[in-house]
Amino acid sequence: MKHSSSMILGFSLGFAGLSLGKTSNQAPFVNLMTPTLPTYASQTEEQAARGSLVGRFPGFKELLQPSIDPGLASYQPVTQPLQGNYTLASSDVLAVLSQQWIDAFMLMYPNVTMQIPAPHAGSLGALELTKGTLDGVFVSRELKPSDIDGFSAKFGYPPTSIPICGGSYRQFGFLDAMAFVVNKENPVEHLTFDQLDSIFSTTRARGGPSITTWGQLGVGGELGKSPINIYGIKPWNGFEEFIRQRVLSYNGRSGIAVNNTAKDPHVTWDATVFNMSRYVANDPAGIAYTGLAYIDRPVKVLGTTNPTTGNLVTPTYENIAMASWPLARIIYFNLNSPPHKGMDPVLRELVKFVLSKEGQQILLDQGVFLPFREFQQKSSLNLL
């Protein structure tokens, strides 16, 4: 099939269980009517221990694969000699990929030695970065607020976190994209970030009024009279932190989710993401956020408005791979870059290589994570 740079190979494949439709104003939405993924369980202690030692391996490669953005800049090795010994760390899901990146990098710079020893865990790596025992950390999520606070307290400035590639589309355990879901009988098809903030937060940083009933969202009948039953995840959790930062925080103000207290029967906080789809499938008045890999019940996946473009988008594979879905997740490289000294020149070149067309091709060959588009590459390069 011929495709332009804005198209994704195989986009028409693999959408069993997804029905596409139109709202009254002709906006597209996605309605997940049948389960498309199995019910997953948490890692066993043995699996976690193995991942810590050798890295975690995906259960399958994604059937759909995007093309590399032809606008991505290629890497041009610098002429001045680079040298030094560097110790890095990575999350377990990035152990294999990050090793491939540094292997390719060291071939270009034979006087540079880099290693990524076990154990592989993003949280541990962030702590060691604060201790000064590591030069950089590949982390498959946003840093914990406690990680940032601890680092800032020691050095007087925050760690430098550079986005280096996309997460996965729906790969279990590998930074799948997120979405908000409601019961399949709910007529709501999309909600803006402002509306989601008004539902899920107490701070309402986006300036909207509190939304507590479905009638406030234009729903009629008995459901319109019903309070909104909120399902979320207890802090700290990577899913919870992502939603807090991406949706509930705005214009420099940190968002705080609605309280989970015994006095509020309409708020349920769980320890993990595993049960979110089940809760909503069994509750006509429910709404939850979850990873796409954890949708194992017939629920409706809501569209939302991209805050940057103002366009209504849905979490299709194409939108996530093209970086237009605003709830797609990102992988970061974290390092200590003193403002008065600037970034280590070797680590700067490493990041430039990872962000390059060649570095993103290494990622694409793995068949799990999604390569950056040109505008994302430029944004990250500006941080250097």
207 plus 262 within the same structural domain = yes
Q: Tokens standing for 8?
A: 């994704």
305 plus 338 within the same structural domain = no
Terminal-residue alpha carbon distance, the chain: 38
Measure the CA–CA gap between 240 and 246, rounded to whole angstroms.
10
DSSP category for residue 273 = S
322 part of a folded domain: no
151 plus 215 within the same structural domain = no
Q: Order across the sheet with 84-90: list the strands.
A: 112-115, 84-90, 136-139, 330-335, 160-166
CATH of the domain at 375: 3.40.190.10
| Closest to 96 measured CA to CA, from 144, 51, 32 | 51
Q: Which whole-number Å values give the CA distances from 174 to 165, 239, 304, 305, in the listed order?
A: 13, 12, 23, 25
Query: Three-state secondary structure along 128-142?
Result: HHHHCCCCEEEECCC
Residues of the chain with pLDDT under 70: 1-36, 122
Side chain identity, residue 223: L
| Closest to 337 measured CA to CA, from 136, 165, 140 | 136
289 plus 185 within the same structural domain = yes
310 plus 181 within the same structural domain = yes
pLDDT digits 0-9 by tens, 259-301: 877 788 899 999 999 999 999 999 999 999 999 999 999 999 9
Domain that holds residue 339: 62-172+329-382
24 plus 107 within the same structural domain = no
Please list the residues that pair with 270 across neighbouring strands: 233
Measure the CA–CA gap between 150 and 314, rounded to whole angstroms.
37
Write the DSSP string, 191-259: --HHHHHHHHBSS-TT-PPP--BGGGGT--HHHHHSBPEEEEEPSS-HHHHHHIIIII-BTTBPP-BPP
311 plus 188 within the same structural domain = yes
189 part of a folded domain: yes
Question: What pLDDT is recorded for position 122?
Answer: 67
3-state helix, strand, coil in the chain (%, to 5): 30, 20, 50
33 part of a folded domain: yes
Give how many domains the chain has, as a whole number: 2
190 plus 218 within the same structural domain = yes
220 part of a folded domain: yes
247 plus 141 within the same structural domain = no
